[in-house]
Structure 1
Amino acid sequence: MPHAPSSKPSAGKPLIYGCGVALAAALLGYASYRATDPGHQPAVSSSAADATAGPAAGVVPELVKLARRDPGDKLARGRVDAPVVVIEYADFTCGHCARFARDTEPALVKKYVDNGTLRIEWRNFPIFGAESEAAARAAWAAGQQDRFWQFHAAAYAEGVKEKGFGKARLTALARQAGVADLDRFARDADSPAARAAVSRDQEEAYGIGATSTPSFLINGRPIVGYQPVAVFAQVIEEAAGGTGNTEDAKDTDKWPRTPATSLLA
C-alpha cells in the first residue's frame, strides 16, 4: 500500500490541470483511500467503480500531456519517443517506493525500456518533511552530473532508509553513485534551481490530487501504491497496443486501443 504524507496539502489547494482532470484526481484519491485498507490491493480490473467513473477511469488527455518527453530531462530514462510513458511520483524516504525501485522497476526496464516501448519519468514528490526535501534536491543535483539513476539505486538500496538522509549521508550516497564533483553536488543541492525543480514536481503531483507515494500515471491512467510487475505490464502492453512489441507500439495511431478501464479493484 502507498505511504501517505504526515501532513496533507491544504484542503483549498486547487487542481491545476482543469475540470477535465477532476475525476481522475478523485480516482487517485479513491485509490489512495482503498489502498490504506490492509485487505485491499489496487489492481487493473473492471469493477463497480467503472460504472460511475466514466472516461476518466482510463486515459485522460490532460494527464497524458503531463509526460514532458524532454530530451534533456536528467531524471528520465528511455526513448523520448517511446509510445508509453510512466510518470512516477515518489519520495526517497518512502519504503514502498523503495520496494518498487528494487522489485518492480528493474523488470520493467529490462522488458520495456530496453526495447524502446517505455519511458520512465521521475517526479520528486517529497511529503515526509525535511529529509525528504533534502533527498529530493540531492537526487536532482546528482542528475546534473548524469548520475540520477545511480543515486536513485543507492538511495533505495536495502537498509539505506533506516540510516536517514542527513547531509553527510547524502554526500556518501552521491559518492557511491559516482558523482564526480562533490563540491558542485553540494552547491547544486542547495541551489534555488534545485528547490524550484522539486517544487515544480511536487505541485504537479498535488495538482492531480496525489496524496501518497508512490503514485503513477501510465499514459494518463493512474495507479497508486506499490504493485507487482504484472499490474504494470498489463497497463503498459494495453497502452502500447496490446503486444509490447516495439514496432507495433511505435504506431501512435494504435495507442491506447483499449476501452477506458478502472485501475481499481
Structure 2
Amino acid sequence: MPTPKTSSSRKPLLYGTGVVLAAALLGFISYRATAPADRSGSSSTAVADVTADPDAGVFPELAKLARRDAGDGLAQGRADAPVVLIEYADFKCGYCGKFARDTEPALIKKYVANGTLRIEWRNFPIFGAESEAAARAAWAAGQQGRFWQFHAAAYAEGVKEKGFGKDRLKALAKEAGVRDLGRFVRDADGAAASAAVSKDQEEGYGIGASSTPSFLINGRPLAGAQPMEVFEQVIQAAADKAANTKDAKGDGGSKGSGDSGGTDK
C-alpha cells in the first residue's frame, strides 16, 4: 500500500520540541509498515522494535492528546482507564482493516473489558475523496451511538473494494443499526462532520503520522498492524507504569506524572 502524498503545509511537531524525535520515529515506522512488497512478492507489516522498558519511546506531550471524554461516541472503554490507545486510521486502508478484524477485538476482550484500556479513534483520511466521505459518515454514525457498529461494517472483509459512495455509506449505516438515516445523511454532509474530521486529521499530521494505521499508547508511538503480542507488550508496560505511579503518589512520593492516565474525571 503506497504512502500518500501530504500537503507541504501540514507540518509535524505541533506539540513542543520533545515531539521531534517521536514524529521522526513514527514517520519511519509508518513508512516501513506500508513499504512495498519484498522480492518474493509477499507483503507484510514491519514488526516494531519494542522494549519492555515502560519509559522507552514515551513522550508526555503525546500522552496529553488523549481526550478522555466520557461522551465521545468514537471511543470505547472507561474515560479514566490507565492506558489510552489512540488510533489514526482510514477506512480505505487495508492494514487498518486487518487490525480491526484480527487484533482489536482481542484487545477489547482482554483489556477494555477489565478497565485497563481505552481506545480513542481519530479519523485520518489520507486516500482521497472516498476516504474523506467514509470518515464523515463514521462520525455521523457516532452521533447516533453507532460508530463502532459502522466501523465493523466498513472494515468487514471485502467491503472497501466496493467503494464508499453515498449509497454504499448509507447502506453501511443501515447495516450498523443507525436509526435515523435522514439525519445520518445530513450529519455526514454537514460542517460539524468536516470540522471534526479535519481536527483529527491535523492532529495526526501534527505528530508526524505519514500512513495508516498509526497509534499512540500513553504517548508511545506505534505504527502498522502489528502482531497482538506487540500491542500486549506495550499496553502491559504502560499499565504497570501507571500502577506504579499511582502507588508512589499514594505513598506521598513524587515519582511519575499524571500523563500515564488513570485520573478520575
TM-score (norm 2): 0.85
Where in structure 2 are the equivalents of 1:54-203 lying within 5 Å? 58-203=57-202
Distance 2:194 2:37 in 1: 35
Q: Which residue of 1 aligns with 2:24?
A: 26
Structure 1 stretch displaced more, 29-38 or 18-27 = 29-38
Q: Which residue of 1 aligns with 2:252?
A: none
Partner-residue secondary structure (3-state), 1:122: strand
Distance 1:7 1:240 in 2: 36
Partner-residue secondary structure (3-state), 1:241: helix
Kept after mapping to 1: 8 A contact 2:218/2:238 = yes
Question: Taking structure 1 as reference, are residues 252 and 79 closer, same or farther at Cα in structure 2, changes over 3 Å only?
Answer: farther
Opposite residue 108 of structure 1, the aligned amino acid is L
Kept after mapping to 2: 8 A contact 1:100/1:226 = yes
Q: Which residue of 2 aligns with 1:16?
A: 14
Per the TM alignment, residue 85 of structure 1 is displaced from its structure 2 partner at its CA by 0.3
Question: Taking structure 1 as reference, are residues 18 and 168 closer, same or farther at Cα in structure 2, changes over 3 Å only?
Answer: same
Partner-residue secondary structure (3-state), 2:126: coil
Size of the aligned set, in residue pairs, is 243
Per the TM alignment, residue 195 of structure 1 is displaced from its structure 2 partner at its CA by 0.1
Kept after mapping to 1: 8 A contact 2:31/2:210 = no
Distance 1:12 1:206 in 2: 6
Distance 1:172 1:96 in 2: 23
Kept after mapping to 1: 8 A contact 2:12/2:23 = no
Question: How big is each residue's C-alpha offset from its partner over 1:50-108, in whole Å with a ceiling of 9 and x where there is no partner?
Answer: 9xxxx7x5210100000000111110000000000000000000010000000000000
Which ranges in structure 2 are unaligned for 5 or more consecutive residues? 39-44, 250-254, 258-265
Per the TM alignment, residue 13 of structure 1 is displaced from its structure 2 partner at its CA by 2.5
Question: Taking structure 1 as reference, are residues 167 and 121 closer, same or farther at Cα in structure 2, changes over 3 Å only?
Answer: same
Kept after mapping to 2: 8 A contact 1:140/1:194 = yes
Q: Which residue of 1 aligns with 2:228?
A: 229
Question: Taking structure 1 as reference, are residues 210 and 4 closer, same or farther at Cα in structure 2, changes over 3 Å only?
Answer: farther
Partner-residue secondary structure (3-state), 1:79: coil
Q: Which residue of 2 aligns with 1:41?
A: 46
Distance 1:145 1:103 in 2: 26
Distance 2:3 2:28 in 1: 16
Distance 2:62 2:36 in 1: 26
Kept after mapping to 2: 8 A contact 1:90/1:125 = yes
Opposite residue 246 of structure 2, the aligned amino acid is D
Asked if residue 251 in structure 1 is aligned to residue 256 in structure 2, the reply is no
Question: Taking structure 1 as reference, are residues 12 and 240 closer, same or farther at Cα in structure 2, changes over 3 Å only?
Answer: closer
Distance 1:252 1:193 in 2: 42
Question: How big is each residue's C-alpha offset from its partner over 1:39-58, in whole Å with a ceiling of 9 and x where there is no partner?
Answer: 67232435xxx9xxxx7x52
Question: How big is each residue's C-alpha offset from its partner over 1:182-208, in whole Å with a ceiling of 9 and x where there is no partner?
Answer: 000000000000000000000000000
Question: Taking structure 1 as reference, are residues 252 and 117 closer, same or farther at Cα in structure 2, changes over 3 Å only?
Answer: farther
Q: Which residue of 2 aligns with 1:218?
A: 217
Per the TM alignment, residue 111 of structure 1 is displaced from its structure 2 partner at its CA by 0.1
Q: Which residue of 2 aligns with 1:261?
A: none
